[in-house]
Structure 1
Amino acid sequence: MRFKLGLTGSIGMGKSTTAQMFADAGCAVWDADAAVHRLYGPEGAAVAPIGKIFPQAIENDQVSRDALRRIIADDATALKRIEEIVHPLVQEDREAFIAAHPQAIGVFDIPLLFETGGDAQMDATACVNVSRETQEARVLARGTMSADDLARILARQMPNAEKCARATYVIETDTLEHARAQVQDVLKDIEQRLQHA
């Protein structure tokens, strides 16, 4: 892989939309959440090991995220034990993706990029950003969580301002046109870096 760009940002900041813009521009995009879905799905590599320690998490030959949430809420040690199974499998999935795209600029959509130290494996990082009001409006418009749910999620994550301060690039996602223009600018900069490498 010619270049690895880690893409991150808090919930509702427009990360998935921005990742799609990179894909539309010809980048190979790896999505951490999609990798976990594959691992939890039928035939997924995480099903058997999670089933061994938490049999109640397995429904229809796959890992139930709802059941996992209940287990994690009831057992203070559960999250760490699940992560010890899932993180190495996610890493294998990512390495297979890198090997499959030797000539690409790869974009790695990782919500907890900085929290997990994943930025150390990237050539550069980009953080999506938007105002707190826009973020809340976007998340609540999905109809899947309340303002309290959002506050709980954000309390567990590094503040987006801190992610932006650590990132190589910041992409403001206030409008689609503005975000798309910034994606093009980031890719131009990466191409220049590769020419001078």
Structure 2
Amino acid sequence: MSFVLGLTGGIGMGKSTAAAMFVERGHPVWDADAAVHRLYAPGGAAVAPVGQAFPGSVVDGAIDRAVLKAALMIDPTGLKTLETIVHPLVRQDRAAFLRENARAPIVVLDIPLLYETGAEAQMDGVAVVSTDEATRRARVLARAGMTDETLDLILSRQLVDQDRRARADWIIPSHSLDAAAAAVDSICLDILSRRPHA
């Protein structure tokens, strides 16, 4: 039976880089954000119900994120409505991934809001990707269209890094690629050296 490893970290912490390192080592990774993109794409399971709940949000057979974002800003109950539609579909996508990779010794679930949504209850262990605040802000502010105000708004919706680190089974320091790679190797070794979970 697979060891289900939750992978999380705040914006700019280097989580995508760490996820890629697990893939390079042969461990399948499920990406929550990518799952939402699939659900919103043409033919995606969320297109029809989201389009019905938010008229005008379907453009060329897919959910137009800009239109949806504008609708959510107008409607204070919109986010709850959207979550009611999308969260069960994301859970189905995740369950399908776990079934498809049931023989893998380690499967990684990359979930940005893992602790915020209570998803750690479904994990066998959690690794948190982390770096210092100055490095994080520099990384995020280098992204196109990102401002201090937007970053502060995003951070206000996320658990503070100190709390994440306190709850983690493992921490992946991402101040350098070498440090992150060494931590990923150590985590894999630690998990594989244990007896399989019942």
Q: Aligned partner of 1:136: which letter?
A: R
Q: Deviations over 1:6-62 (max 9, x none)?
A: 000000000000000011011010000000000000000000001111122111111
- Deviation of 1:196 after TM superposition, in Å, equals 8.3
Q: How far, CA to CA, are the matches of 1:91 and 1:196 in structure 2?
A: 22
> Do residues 61 (structure 1) and 76 (structure 2) align?
no
The SS at the match of 1:194 is: coil
Which residue of structure 2 aligns with residue 43 of structure 1? 43
Which residue of structure 2 aligns with residue 11 of structure 1? 11
Q: Aligned partner of 1:185: which letter?
A: S
Q: How far, CA to CA, are the matches of 2:177 and 2:98 in structure 1?
A: 28
> Do residues 155 (structure 1) and 144 (structure 2) align?
no
> Do residues 94 (structure 1) and 109 (structure 2) align?
no
Q: Aligned partner of 1:53: which letter?
A: A
Which residue of structure 1 aligns with residue 188 of structure 2? 187
Which residue of structure 2 aligns with residue 137 of structure 1? 138
Q: What percentage of residue pairs aligned between the two structures are identical?
A: 51
For structure 2, list consecutive stretches of 5 or more residues without a partner in the other structure. Answer: none
Which residue of structure 2 aligns with residue 81 of structure 1? 81
Q: Give the CA RMSD over aligned residues.
A: 1.2
Which residue of structure 2 aligns with residue 172 of structure 1? 173
The SS at the match of 2:117 is: coil
Q: Aligned partner of 2:83: which letter?
A: E
Q: Aligned partner of 2:156: which letter?
A: A
The SS at the match of 1:5 is: strand
Q: Aligned partner of 1:90: which letter?
A: V
TM-score by length of 1: 0.97
- Deviation of 1:164 after TM superposition, in Å, equals 1.0
- Deviation of 1:139 after TM superposition, in Å, equals 0.6
Q: Aligned partner of 1:165: which letter?
A: A
For structure 1, list consecutive stretches of 5 or more residues without a partner in the other structure. Answer: none
Comparing 50-59 with 171-180, which one deviates more in the overlay? 50-59
TM-score by length of 2: 0.97
Q: Deviations over 1:112-170 (max 9, x none)?
A: 00000111000000100001100000011122311111000000111111111111111
Q: How far, CA to CA, are the matches of 1:193 and 1:178 in structure 2?
A: 23
- Deviation of 1:195 after TM superposition, in Å, equals 5.4
2:2 and 2:197 in contact (8 A); partners too: no
